[in-house]
Amino acid sequence: MASIVVMPQLGNSVESCLIVSWAVSEGDSVAENTVLCEVETDKASMEVPSTAAGTVLKLLWAEGDDVPVKDPLVVVGEPGEDPEPALREAGFGAGESTEAADGEAGYEETDARPASGAEPVETLDKAPEPTPAAPAGGSSIERGVSPRARNLAASKSLDTDAIADGTGPGGRVIERDVEAALAAGPEATRAAARDGGAGRADAVGTGLGGRVSSADLAAATESAPEASAASVAQPAATASGDFPGAVTETPVKGIRKVISERMMASLAGSAQLTYNTTANAQGLLDLRKKFKNSDPAIGMNGVTIGDLVGYAAVKTAAKHPSHNAHLEGGVLKTFERVHMGFACDTPRGLLVPTVRNASQLSLGQFSTISKQLAAEAVEGKINPDLLAGATFTVSNLGSFGIESFTPILNAPQTAILGVSAIVPRVTLNEKGKAVAEQRIGLSLTADHRVVDGADAARFLKDLVAFIENIDLAILS
C-alpha cells in the first residue's frame, strides 16, 4: 500500500505550516529525505523531507495552503497506484475516523454530516464506530483551545464556545477554526453551534474528505442573499482615480501577521511605560577595541558593543526579579535564571531568538550563542522552540543610528530594554570645561501593573553603572 507523508511537528508550539513552494510534482520519484517542499511557520521557514521512497502519487495541498501539523501532505507509492486506499486508511475520503500515532483523536468522520449539496463521501463496508459524546456544555476548557486560537479569539471578542467542532487533535480548537468562524461572521458561528459544524450550514466543503475551509465559508457567505444585499448597499472602498498610480495589495500573513497580532495584544493587555536614560559609552568602545585586536586564539575578537550591552542587561535583570518575569492571569512568575530574547531583523520580519540560561554564561559564550542564533534566524533555519521561552528581551537599534525609541513588551514578559546609538553629547568635565562625551541611549519599557517607576529607575541605574564600569563588571 502507498505511504502518506504528513506535515511534521516543527517545534512544540507550531500548529500549522504554510506551504511556500513545492520541490516535487506528481509522478516524480523520490527517496527518503528528498526535499518535498519548503514551508513557513509563524516563526521560521524550513524544508520538509520525504519519509518514504517511491513515486509521488498525489500532492494534497497547493502552494499557499496552511496545513495543520500531522495532516497528510503527500501520498507516495508505486507508479500508477491508487492513492485513495491510503487516504482512507488515514481517515481522508472515508467514513471512519482513525487514531493518531500519539493516541489523540485523528481525522473526523467526514460523511457523518455531509455539507449541503455535496456528494456523500464513500464509506467502508463496515459500520462506523459511534461518535463519542461531546463533553457536557462543550466548554473550551474541557475540549481544549490552543494558545494561538485563544489569543486570536480574545482579540476579536469571539467566544470559542460558539465554535462547535475544532479541527485539531481530539477536537481541539486551533487558530484556523477561529479564522474560519471570523470569516463566516456571527450568524454562521451561531449556526455552527446549532448544527454542529465549524461554519455555515450551507457551505460545501472542498477540502480533503469534504472538510469545510475558510475559503468555502467565505464563498457561502458571499453567495447568501443577505451578503449580496449588503454588498450592493456598501459603496466601493475607493473610486477609480482616488489614488493615482499602481496599487499593490499584499495579504498580511505568516510571520508578519503574527507580529501584528502580538504587538496589538501586548499594547491592549498591559500598562506599558517607557523610561529613558543614557550611559557613558567610552568604556564600551575601549573594551570593544581591545577585544577586536586580541589574539584570535582567545576567542574574544568577535565580541561586539551589542554583546557587551546585552550581557550587561542580563546581569542586571538577574538582580531585579520583577523585570525578569511573566505576568499572566493576575499571577506574577519570577525566574531565577535569565533567558534573554533579542530582537533580530530577518528577511521575513522580526524574530526573537532566545539565549537560554544567559545569566549562567560567560561573555564569550553569550556572544557566540547570540551570533549563532541570529544567523539561523536570518537563514530561516532556526528551531521554532528557540523563538520562545524568553523571560527578558533586548531590542538593539543602535546600528541604525536611532537615538531613542519605545520598545513594546514581548508579552507576557514584564520588561524589555531598547538600546540606541552611541552619539557624542556635550557635558562638563571636572574642570567645568565643555567636552564631547560618547553616550549610549537606553530605553526600558516595563509593565506598570507590577513594576513601579522607582523600580524601573533602579534597574536603569544599575545597568548604567555596569556599562560605565564594563571592564571590571564582566569579571564579577
pLDDT at position 199 is 44
Higher-scoring residue by pLDDT: 221, 277? 277
pLDDT at position 187 is 56
pLDDT at position 358 is 98
pLDDT at position 143 is 54
pLDDT at position 130 is 43
For residue 228, give the C-alpha cell: 449580496
Higher-scoring residue by pLDDT: 210, 238? 210
pLDDT at position 390 is 97
d(CA 285, CA 415): 26
218 pLDDT tier (thresholds 50, 70, 90): low
210 pLDDT tier (thresholds 50, 70, 90): low
279 Ramachandran zone, left/alpha/beta (phi>0; psi -120 to 50): beta
**% of the chain residues with pLDDT over 70:** 75
d(CA 90, CA 84): 10
pLDDT at position 43 is 66
pLDDT at position 127 is 42
pLDDT at position 385 is 86
Mean pLDDT across the chain, nearest whole number? 81
Least confident of 24-28, 41-45, 300-304, 337-341: 41-45
In whole angstroms, how far apart are CA 119 and each of 36, 49, 58, 91, 206?
Answer: 32, 34, 21, 17, 11
For residue 208, give the C-alpha cell: 480533503
Least confident of 93-102, 210-219, 234-243, 377-386: 93-102
Averaged pLDDT, 269-289: 97
For residue 27, give the C-alpha cell: 509522478
Select the highest-mean-pLDDT range: 109-118, 178-187, 440-449.
440-449
d(CA 397, CA 421): 7
Domains of the chain: 3-90 (2.40.50.100), 136-225 (no CATH), 271-473 (3.30.559.10)
For residue 235, give the C-alpha cell: 459603496
Is 375:406 a contact under the CB 8 Å cutoff?
Answer: no
d(CA 72, CA 60): 7
Q: What are the backbone dihedrals phi and psi of residue 331, each rounded to the nearest 5 degrees, phi first?
A: -115, 125
Least confident of 36-40, 134-138, 182-186, 334-338: 134-138
d(CA 320, CA 330): 19
Least confident of 123-137, 233-247, 270-284, 292-306: 123-137
pLDDT tens-digit series, residues 419-476: 999 999 998 888 989 999 999 999 999 999 999 999 999 999 999 999 999 999 998 7
pLDDT tens-digit series, residues 300-349: 999 999 999 999 999 999 999 999 999 999 999 999 999 999 999 988 78
pLDDT at position 212 is 57
Name which of 318, 274, 241, 263 is nearest 442 in CA terms.
274
pLDDT tens-digit series, residues 197-207: 444 445 556 66
pLDDT at position 360 is 97
pLDDT at position 225 is 52
Handedness of CA 136, 141, 143, 145 (dihedral sign): positive
d(CA 65, CA 67): 6
Contacts of 291-295 with C-beta under 8 Å, sequence gap 24+, read none
pLDDT at position 188 is 54
DSSP secondary structure of 337-392: S--EEE-EEETTEEE--EETTGGGS-HHHHHHHHHHHHHHHHHT-S-GGGGS--SE
